[in-house]
Structure 1
């Protein structure tokens, strides 16, 4: 490293300037790569050997099924190789904590779920600040395991393809003490409340729950985005929303009653940046003129 640094300072164009950087900067560079690619940089030179072990980000991306998917069939060799790699990744990764943990798994095979559960729990043991868990399957959603105390430092959570029940509701209420940013995408949300005193940004996209209303209790909420959700009784905001200034709603489910729509829109009185898409409405004022920023929607 010292020789490379001297060459760089001397202006030698053949010097390995990247390898001459301190470990902290090289770790930052590696943090932009999926973990498999980060491990592969070890073949570049001795300088890079083992650097991946202390990168403060783990990013696992693996699709179990081959492009020519045949129902209930997958490449066992491909799966076994991936399993060996990911097991070794956790075994030898020695960062004390993680800035981010991301895992993207495509699988149509329920017999692999216990192994995926183990990987999710192992990644969470690093107490990451930013977590993305994405599961893609034509067979159904993935039931998120209980994450325990590993969420103590979690500020940002993105979940896609999940089955979330009342245990998630309970953990969200008391087990995410610093969570500020939550996205639920393409999830089956079998609970009644999103309740958090720290949540500032919430995105609900393409989620499903029949015969129930989802109630959001988040007094610190600043930004709300609801896109193509299917709740028979709609979505409602409960309690004061004094900090909510940004809201995007698209579209309202046609099955929702006008009452549920009015209930949600009536909770957005502090919003200064409101986008309503896919909603037919008439805007009018009623004497005496309402205060600035207030409007009335008639369906």
Structure 2
């Protein structure tokens, strides 16, 4: 029988590297043993998906990770890395920040970094909380379209933030230098359409706990503060932070838990189409969202509405046509007054709470 033809290896290199870009980098590297044709193919893949804990443990890990990145970045220093995902693991790797800076110089469109959270004191062999700040060239990237930072520190860059192509940003338990850092970061992204924000409500870094956060954007269309793996602000002191929203073009908003002790909408959100609420609120917030067309509200939010109605009139939601509400049985007497707030309601779904 004639030998089998390896048709995959006959494909153009550009197509092979594109296929490999959908694999984690550790799997892409394994293809180097297939044949001579594949030996250095992984070095030309326009994507990096690296989990540092895949490398040898502890003292060998740092040297292995940095050596691997140096080889990758030095192979074709003029080529682009379009997608970059780096999960640093729990323990600090000295020098990793410099490699991330080099990666950003390669013009990626997508960056997803999960920073380390601890460092090991070699004298006491004790782990301490650690905060890894992102390199300054991140804030002036001309190519980034999507950015996700997890457990990272965001510097207050000297000069200004300018990410002219960024459309999506996710900030998970990110630490800012001061209360206005988030506002400056968002304001430096003129095309930003989607923002997901998850605060670290149990920070070990006392000086980094935010007291005030502001989201101001003329381009923002979707804003999410989602439930974070079931965690909530059980301690009032952990949530002492005010959130201000000034985003006149906002269309979708999800506020999934009480990460903030107060939320204020600066201007009425006339473009708002859908809002999903699982929070408590104040008068300025209710007025700001009263133009919404579709609303989903939790039991917590409905109880807050009932308490609010005892002291103030709930504003009319004249544009609301669809409502989904989790309604506790002990508030059924409030239902008629509640429905009067939505004079043009067309679709109503009430889910009775089991509590």
For the 8 Å contact 1:124–1:150, the answer to whether it is kept is no
Q: Summarize deviations over 1:111-143 as a string: whole Å, max 9, x none.
A: x4x523223322222232222121353625543
Q: Give the corresponding residue for 1:129.
A: 109
What TM-score do you get using the length of structure 1 for normalisation? 0.72
CA change 1:248–1:143 in 2 (3 A) is farther
Indicate whether 1:290 and 2:343 are aligned: yes
For the 8 Å contact 1:244–1:271, the answer to whether it is kept is yes
Could you say what secondary structure the match of 1:184 adopts?
strand
For the 8 Å contact 2:213–2:242, the answer to whether it is kept is yes
Indicate whether 1:199 and 2:220 are aligned: yes
Could you say what secondary structure the match of 2:149 adopts?
strand
Q: Give the corresponding residue for 2:175.
A: 163
Equivalent of 1:216, from 242, 245, 257? 245
Q: Summarize deviations over 1:158-205 as a string: whole Å, max 9, x none.
A: 22222123444313212x233333333454673521223333333334
Could you say what secondary structure the match of 2:223 adopts?
strand
Q: After TM superposition, give the deviation of residue 88 of structure 1 in Å.
A: 2.0
What's the RMSD between the two structures over aligned residues? 3.5
1:3-14 pair list within 5 angstroms? 14=4
Q: Summarize deviations over 1:35-82 as a string: whole Å, max 9, x none.
A: 23323322222332333333322222113998xxxxxxx720122112
Whose RCO is larger (CA < 8 A, sep 6+)?
Answer: 1
Q: After TM superposition, give the deviation of residue 24 of structure 1 in Å.
A: 3.2
Could you say what secondary structure the match of 2:48 adopts?
strand
Q: Summarize deviations over 1:198-221 as a string: whole Å, max 9, x none.
A: 333333344987433111233333
Indicate whether 1:267 and 2:250 are aligned: no
For the 8 Å contact 1:108–1:137, the answer to whether it is kept is yes
Q: Deviation above 6 Å: which 4+ runs of structure 1? A: none
CA change 1:142–1:149 in 2 (3 A) is closer
Indicate whether 1:75 and 2:58 are aligned: yes
Q: Give the corresponding residue for 1:5.
A: none
Indicate whether 1:56 and 2:46 are aligned: yes
Equivalent of 1:173, from 173, 187, 205? 187
Structure 2 distance, partners of 1:50, 1:60, is 17
Structure 1 distance, partners of 2:289, 2:3, is 59
Which runs of 5 or more residues in structure 1 are unaligned? 1-11, 67-73
Could you say what secondary structure the match of 2:80 adopts?
coil
Paired residues in the alignment total: 264
For the 8 Å contact 2:89–2:115, the answer to whether it is kept is yes
Q: After TM superposition, give the deviation of residue 30 of structure 1 in Å.
A: 1.0
For the 8 Å contact 1:53–1:95, the answer to whether it is kept is no
For the 8 Å contact 2:199–2:259, the answer to whether it is kept is no
For the 8 Å contact 1:156–1:179, the answer to whether it is kept is no
For the 8 Å contact 2:55–2:64, the answer to whether it is kept is no
Q: Give the corresponding residue for 1:143.
A: 133
Q: Give the corresponding residue for 2:297.
A: 276
Structure 1 distance, partners of 2:86, 2:97, is 11
